[in-house]
Structure 1
Amino acid sequence: MTVRVQDVVAALEKAYPPEFAESWDAVGLVTGDPRAAVQRIAFCVDPVEATVDEAIGFGAQLLVAHHPLLLKGVHGVPADTSKGRLVHRMIRAGIGLYCAHTNADTAAPGVSDALAEALGLRVREPLSPHEPGARTGLGRIGELSEPEPFETFVRRVAHGLPTTTWGVRGAGDPDRPVRTVAVSGGAGDGLLEAATAAGVDAFVTADLRHHPAGEHLAVGDLPDTDVPALVDVAHWASEWPWCQQAADIVAEALPDTVEVLVSTRRTDPWTVHASGAADPGRAPA
């Protein structure tokens, strides 16, 4: 049986229905012939030079990415632009590109399920369900088998995700017991109120900004008010576990003749980290 791009697309869209995508999103087949034969498929978070290199080296006929390559409308893809160059490289190499973005965020299982699993959480329900009682929606609420101090939990997160220069940061009482946890792959500060309303002990997400995080923690200083501690991770790291989930779904749906590869290229943009040595009240020597 010859497996074709359209067969892979069908498996992906059964797991991550395109109708789950936000109206502003761009999901689906970006490049490639739906009837082209497929023997090898690569999976990544970002469709960039490094992951395209990896897909070409693997001999893939299809690259499945979480982030869209062409999110905004374009009128051309000339090869002297960064994204146009990628499009031309993939076409010349016979590699199609498929993107599953916010539809993979909200599907069940989806991006946040994969993140929860990487952290050793048992998923209970969505953090922000599509509708009451639904299994689909943004984020997930899960729980640990046993409570542990927040400082220990932050280390758990660091050990469960791939290493990045950004690292893992925690905001909260280091001794606070953590049992219930909300997670959201990708930028999740829009779900801070939902995490608070859920009554969880900690919230793990990416790209937390100074003011939303600070204002969130300040609410916890009010009488009889509790808010979850915060764990901030690199955007790429929070979504990378999804690649294995997607690869497993496709591998299970297709014949054994199809090989899959989960990218190991770190495409987090941050490359240098330095810690300040001076106290804020003293000028550096």
Structure 2
Amino acid sequence: MKKVNGHEIISLFEQWSPKRYAEDWDPVGLHIGQLNRTVQKVLVTLDVNEAVVDEAIEQGANLIIAHHPPIFQPLKHIWTDTPQGRLIEKCIKNDLSVYAAHTNLDVAPGGVNDLLAHKLQLRQLEVMEPTVSDPLYKLAVFCPADYADDLREALGNAGAGALGDYAGCSFSSTGIGRFTPITGADPFIGKVGKSESVPEERIEVILPGPIRNKVLQAMLAAHPYEEPAYDFFVLDQRTEQLGLGRVGVLEEPMSLKEFGSYVKSVLDVPAIRLVGDPDKQVRKVAVLGGSGSKYIRAAKRKGADVFVSGDIDFHSAQDAELMDLGIIDPGHHVEKVMIEGVAKRMQKECTDKGFDVTFIQSAIDTEPFTFLQ
């Protein structure tokens, strides 16, 4: 097993949940410490409070991955006799770094909202509120015909040519490439000062923007020429849209009241708030981790019968009632599903990479509310 530092772990994490998925107001990324040190244990938590920091120290963790950023507003000073200053001081003194993945983890496939939707056993999932889509690119590269198959394979291995359920998609046309190596060249074909004509193929592949550099490097490494001729074109087509929230259907309809009890049980919360006719039949469900008041209309536009989200305010609840959209509010803290989800996924990915690191699920309950019966 290979010892790793924080950069290697976070680089792997950001292949799944890149920071560019986050909302522009969201301070995701490294909050405290550094990523240059060797990391042997990572604590995954929803929130970072002093009890969680103490837990990380006791467990011997070198890095915390949290969902909620511990420093949300820019700091003008750090006073270590305040709760936040004391937390930062304790992290620094114990060489404990803190990294936050917030709305980018909400958007990421397999992230918070998918975890919640799977907990509720929703089917036929789609994005509720699209926020991210990337342009597609086309790479056109010219290659000697005898080497075209090897180049196509290298491009496919780098992720180019993946369209829907198909991999290795490409188009080729043939022609004649002409060139004259000049002094200083080290030509793969031909001699300096002599014009050459070579049967070549023009290979075209489609690729998403985020892997453009990876595909380019793969092409340059596999191409036999020292100066390959190629073009990148930006296409009007875009990748699959990603975004906040998920919408899906229940296997069988149930009443709003029955569904509320189901949510309470499955998401392991002590209470829920319900808006709407308890006897209303619900089948299509929208779910959004965190605060959902701003997304009531998005849920309704998607045809949801009920919207599951936290922090629903009074007036938003009234609006939902007027538009006949049921509301189940299990609280903000249901995002705790990310603790197990992130820890298990990252443990598997790091193990597959041969990384010598252990992911620990925080056992600290950071729910600030106490519910009286």
User: Which residue of 326, 331, 344 corresponds with 1:248?
Assistant: 344
In structure 1, the gaps of 5 or more residues are 220-226, 275-285
For residues 122 and 94 of structure 1, what CA distance do their matches in structure 2 show? 43
Q: Structure 2-normalised TM-score?
A: 0.67
1:258 matches 2:357: yes
Residues 234-278 of structure 1: CA deviation (Å, up to 9, x unaligned): 1112x111222221221122136322122232212112535xxxx
**CA distance in structure 2 between the aligned counterparts of 1:57 and 1:192, rounded to whole angstroms:** 42
Which residue among 292, 306, 324 is the counterpart of 1:188? 292
- Number of matched residues? 264
Deviation of the 1:186 alpha carbon: 0.3
Q: Which has the larger radius of gyration?
A: 2
Q: Which residue of 1 aligns with 2:333?
A: 236
Find the counterpart in structure 2 of residue 212 from structure 1: 316
Give the TM-score normalised by structure 1: 0.87
CA distance in 2 between partners of 1:113 and 1:240 (Å)? 13
Confirm or deny: 8 A CA contact 1:126 1:140 kept in the other structure: yes
Pairing of 1:40-79 with structure 2 (within 5 A): 40-79=41-80
For residue 240 of structure 1, give the secondary structure of its aligned residue in structure 2: helix
Alpha-carbon distance change, 33 to 259 in structure 1, aligned in 2, over 3 angstroms: same
Q: Take 1:133 and 1:200, find their aligned partners in 2: how far apart are those partners? A: 25
In structure 2, the residue corresponding to 1:247 is in which secondary structure?
Answer: helix
Shift of 1:51: 1.5
Q: 1:151 aligns with which of 239, 254, 257?
A: 257
Asked if 1 retains the 8 angstrom alpha-carbon contact of 2:49 and 2:87, the reply is yes
Q: Which residue type is aligned with residue 141 of structure 1?
A: V
Is the 2:320–2:327 Cα contact (8 Å) retained in structure 1? Answer: no
Q: Tell me the secondary structure at the aligned position of residue 4 of structure 2.
A: coil
Q: How far, CA to CA, are the matches of 1:32 and 1:94 in structure 2?
A: 7
SS of residue paired to 1:46? coil
Structure 2 unaligned segments of length 5 or more: list them: 134-237
Q: Out of 88-97 and 253-262, give the one that drifted further.
A: 253-262
- Once the two structures are superposed, residues 103-149 of structure 1 have per-residue CA deviations (whole angstroms, 9 ceiling, x without a partner) of 11222222111111122222511101125983410100012222222
Letter of the structure 1 residue corresponding to residue 356 of structure 2: T
* Conservation of the 8 A alpha-carbon contact between 2:247 and 2:284: yes
Letter of the structure 2 residue corresponding to residue 173 of structure 1: D
In structure 1, the residue matched to 2:93 is 92
TM-fit CA distance, 1:228: 2.3
Q: Is the 8 A contact 1:234 1:268 kept in 2?
A: no
The answer to whether the 8 Å contact 1:3/1:38 transfers is: yes
Report % sequence identity.
35
Tell me the equivalent position of 1:277.
Answer: none
**SS at the partner of 1:170?**
strand
Residue 223 of structure 1 aligns with which residue?
Answer: none
Tell me, in whole angstroms, the C-alpha distance in 1 between the residues paired with 2:342 and 2:277: 36
Q: Quick check: which one's strand share is greater? A: 2
What are the within-5 Å matches in structure 2 for residues 162-177 of structure 1? 162-164=268-270, 167-177=271-281
Deviations 1:69-123 (A, max 9, x none): 1111112222112111111111222211000011112222221111111222225
What is the CA RMSD across the aligned residues, in angstroms? 1.8
Q: Is residue 199 of structure 1 aligned with residue 298 of structure 2?
A: no
Moved more, 202-211 or 256-265: 256-265
Amino acid aligned to 2:347: A
Provide the rounded CA distance (Å) in 1 between the counterparts of 2:62 and 2:345.
Answer: 18
